[in-house]
Structure 1
């Protein structure tokens, strides 16, 4: 990969994490200091600092907003006029003013906490001024952090709240007053300071920080090397290793762009070297990196928000998400195998691959913090934030031990080893805070949308969508999927999920209860919105992850995005299946054998769907084999469908699973026979 292509990919990543203004020493020092203070504040919350929820949320948001104004210019591309809007060499005066105003306005809810509580519903002049200022600053900061899409949606839905009485027909709404709007949005915990921001402040930050620290200590490279050592020698090995390494990176990263840059700079050139065209190599990395957000424990922060919305434990959300996440990756792994078959690609020579045992020996300690995290969550049943905190403390110890051992090997002093450990941890704290700026502003801005919807627009939206879908649940799901994809083109995954969940989940649940033969499980409805928000990361014409991978592969970004989206069809079909078949999200499944059986059958269904979309099994499909693959897919994903179509109630689903496996096996034998015939003719 050329230096220019690497710079393009790094530039896209720097824009996402706000690492733009770092040229002047003072500016870099100021931004780094605030980032470290924010990280230390968040680390103090689980064990050492006792604050009420409003104070925690407000301080968290203040740090994020100040960092955005100080580190990210208003416009990310230079203009001939109004150069101060794109000032990257220094922090302009206007952004310093914005940062100071943010501190005063956002912390006002803490400063005059008692007065605001006494005046509930009756704000005074100061409340009006600070409330409006807070909303304006949040919208400006969110525009810088995540782009204009969400702020525009927030402004439009706010405008709709005021103009509701003048709207025609079913769009009419009783409207809200400025007093009610400000009380709800900026002076209570129902808007900006609502549940999404609470999850960002109390849980997500620590998981993102853990991921950033693991990356700085070298865990990302370890996962990459481990994947190549295990899979590089097999057919299409580099692509298979890309899928596995991106999945493992997804454990510590909630960003598809960061995932592409971290793993793609190594995997994409190797895929091209082994014979994959640039477009295929880039699309494989995009699909793998995008799906990294499906992987617990972070899941793009959505797991924790779903947990809060549903009032269930985080473990319950992970339980629901685990089968679809792994099935999606298994299907992508299989896609790389089919593409290798089509292209006649072999594995990489052993000499080009890292030694598995050497990689494991040198990097096994990276698994210790992740093991602690899993132990804390699954065995000790501690809260997510306490589990992440304990894992981070263990990671600090691992970092120092690693650097002390490294210092000894390189004939350096203990002091030098300790210094290196401190530098790594400091860099991790800064990176964690930078990675969180967008998440914090996204949850705050999305809180405006949620707050307005809860003022009464929600029930009206239910009626509108019900009319548009005509009571058809499948049509409603299709509308929701398209809306999520469109929103997700301009929003981060977390914000897309929050907006769609607040608007469409109540409609899905209501319609399924009224019109459907099988009411949708609430967790399935939430995961449905989450999945399609993720898929927008490689949906043309935006798809920033596709642009990043294309820069590395030197391929066309639109073609890369289209190819990546074709690969992601196997992810797109899964949400439709688990909405209708709650077994896929393990609703009501409380024993390991049944859960494992469902996982195996769902995986086979995903493989059959992959054969259907790729037009290939062991050789190219005939048209009738493609139809049979579609039949096998439906049966293995949703065996109850045959019961419903044939009105059969007394046959167990296992019988239909067996029938689906027989159909899959039939296609295998048909293609085997065809291969033998072709060999004889040859």
Structure 2
């Protein structure tokens, strides 16, 4: 394949990541400090693998040791200020904070018997250790995750302390400082609660799995496979971005990281073909953000969902339920980019620009680890067991690939480096889940979740669509600048109960807030994934955000669809119902896409665009009469398109 675009340099990628993704702003050490960090990261991964294989430790021990590793490493790796002049040098106060972080993590293992037998009674040392734990978690989260979730957590702590002074239905008896400290660090209802539990077990292993996928070359193979499948099609590079980003989401779990990684390849390719900068960036941002919605691995928040919903639900149940909505999401983006390419008269890549398909398809065995995850989960294996075996299979595939392809590089050194890379990636998740545990603890102790759920229903006058709308707005606002994990924890404890009170299945309610928490990454005015894409494309950030939200319009519709019609989640449905709902939804998105872009088989005038959007929404709404009306209008629009197609001058690549 010829060099069809100039990809941005590694240095430029890192600058963009550091600007929009706090987790990428780590210090780069050299010399002896580099080896200290390396050994600590490796020890972190070895501890997690050891407990996964031999058996998880008691909850307080497993979670506190996990937290101690994370806190200690965060203060060594992440500076207090983003533009710190000593980014590559150790700072004395960070050494102190790091030692305190490790110490807090070691406090439970060193005092386990005493703390277990004296539940409810704290001595002065316990109290100050608890205070230190709260403050260290807040500061570590600020450094590695960002300020929004930190501020929200502080507000929740203040709410717990000053409950009697709260207005209206928010009032409560208040929690004393001693009781609050006890809840936050000496029970499994606060920092050491369910979110950190999932981080210290399932999530860490899947982050390791992602690190091994990168080292074995699966990540780069996704791009080659995407180009081979979609490159020659109309507007091929945009479709390559959609396809590769859906696959890359399996590895990264971060919208911003996905944008910069795959976007450095796809965005220049789209620009060269003729797409505008902001549209090219919007395509990549929308597709990369959707990577977290794509099973079998849907980002850290999906693992939390297993614990939050409970009731015997498995991760496979969630992945299966999310499959059709994810398919519809990417279908919607595909349709929109196709119509835009037709409107601009853009073609696909030339034969000379394409890779050798035979050589690419010969390496399909690199997808074995992804298939292994699906099969293992389908056969009823636990999430941890599936993750462990997937790591083993990935390592095996890496060595097999090295034997079959002389250009491939995978060695024992790469294996060890993958262990440290996985641990480094886990730091942000550990901080976010620990901080989210503060929020969950306050909600549990004050009953705030039920109060806000009831208040939301009152505001919506017990109308389902209004309740969904207000929940969507809350999820988007809370998700601005916050990681998906923390956003899901907040919305699932505050907003999801309101939907459940309306009689909606728990899984549909939780997926609803999960979707919109993720969509915050491409929803202006704070759209971090879109802004990162604008940085790669050298485009205008806000305009890129508008384009990404427009392209992902399906994601703003699909959650309403599966709440109103749980058949899309394969809940209590037949194959006949499922096929009908999916078929009408795809037809509806085609009509909406044509109306938004302004092109179908020819350019649409303003009236046709409005009719097309209306017909699409009628088809998407899961109700018999609206489907029938929408289908009639849809067919009529297609007929009219063909009748008048020849009378309209086809656009050239210079138009639009």
TM superposition score normalised by structure 2: 0.93
CA drift at 1:4: 7.5
Match of 1:674 among 641, 644, 651: 644
Query: Do structure 1's residue 472 and structure 2's residue 463 form an aligned pair?
Result: yes
Alpha carbons of 1:452 and 1:339: their partners in 2 closer, same or farther (altered >3 Å)?
same
1:36 to 37, 42, 57: 42
Inter-CA distance 231–453: structure 2 relative to 1 (3 Å threshold):
same
Which residue in the other structure is 2:653 paired with?
none
Residue in 1 aligned with 2:329? 328
1:52 aligns with 2:61: no
Q: State the shift of 1:627 in Å.
A: 4.2
Is contact 1:18-1:71 (8 Å) kept? no
| Structure 1 contact 8–548 (Cα < 8 Å) conserved | no
Give the stretch that moved more between structures: 102-111 or 275-284.
102-111
CA 1:472/1:593 → structure 2, altered by over 3 Å: closer, same or farther? closer
Is 1:523 matched with 2:522? no
Paired residues in the alignment total: 641
SS in 2 for 1:160: helix
Runs of 4+ in 1 over 4 A off after TM superposition: 1-6, 591-594, 656-659, 677-680
Quote how far apart the aligned CAs of 1:597 are: 4.1
Q: Provide the C-alpha distance between the structure 2 equivalents of 1:326 and 1:678, rounded to a whole number of angstroms.
A: 33
1:665 is aligned to 2:656: no
Q: Which runs of 5+ in 1 are unaligned?
A: 79-85, 411-416, 513-518, 643-655
TM alignment of 1:137-536, pairs within 5 A: 137-311=136-310, 312-361=313-362, 363-378=363-378, 380-406=379-405, 409=406, 420-456=410-446, 457-510=448-501, 512=502, 519-536=503-520
Q: Is the contact made by 2:156 and 2:442 (CA closer than 8 Å) also made in structure 1?
A: yes
Task: Report if aligned partners of 2:7, 2:265 keep a CA contact under 8 Å in 1.
Answer: no
TM-superposed CA distance for 1:430, in Å, is 1.9
Q: Name which of structure 1's ranges 252-261 and 3-12 shifts more when overlaid on structure 2.
A: 3-12
Shift of 1:3: 8.5
> In the aligned structure 1, how far is the partner of 2:610 from the partner of 2:256?
36
**Separation in 2, partners of 1:438, 1:216:** 21
* Change beyond 3 A, Cα 1:657–1:108: same
Post-superposition Cα deviations, 1:221-253, rounded to whole Å, max 9, x if no partner, equal: 111111111211111001011100111111222
User: Mean alpha-carbon deviation: is it higher for 346-355 or for 424-433?
Assistant: 424-433
1:72-130 Cα offsets, whole Å, 9 max, x none, are 1011124xxxxxxx531212121111111112223323322222222222222122111
Give 1:26 shift: 1.9
CA distance in 1, matches of 2:79, 2:521: 23
Distance 1:539 1:627 in 2: 23
Q: CA RMSD in A?
A: 2.2
Structure 2 stretches of 5 or more lacking a match?
Answer: 651-656
Find the aligned partners of 1:543 and 1:7 in 2 and give their Cα distance: 23
Return closer, same or farther for 1:597/1:212 CA change in 2, 3 Å cut-off: farther
The CA distance in 2 between the partners of 1:248 and 1:75, in whole Å, is 34
Measure, in 1, the Cα distance between the counterparts of 2:219 and 2:603.
Answer: 37
Bigger Cα displacement from structure 2, 22-31 vs 329-338? 22-31
Are the counterparts in 2 of residues 121 and 179 from structure 1 also a CA contact under 8 Å?
A: no
Q: Is the 8 A contact 2:267 2:284 kept in 1?
A: yes
CA–CA distance in structure 2, aligned partners of residues 463 and 592 of structure 1 = 36
Q: Once the two structures are superposed, what CA deviation does each residue of 1:192-233 show, in whole Å capped at 9, x if it has no partner?
A: 111111111111111121112111221111111111112111
Question: TM-score when scaled to structure 1?
Answer: 0.89
Q: Deviations over 1:562-594 (max 9, x none)?
A: 2112212221111122222222222212x5554
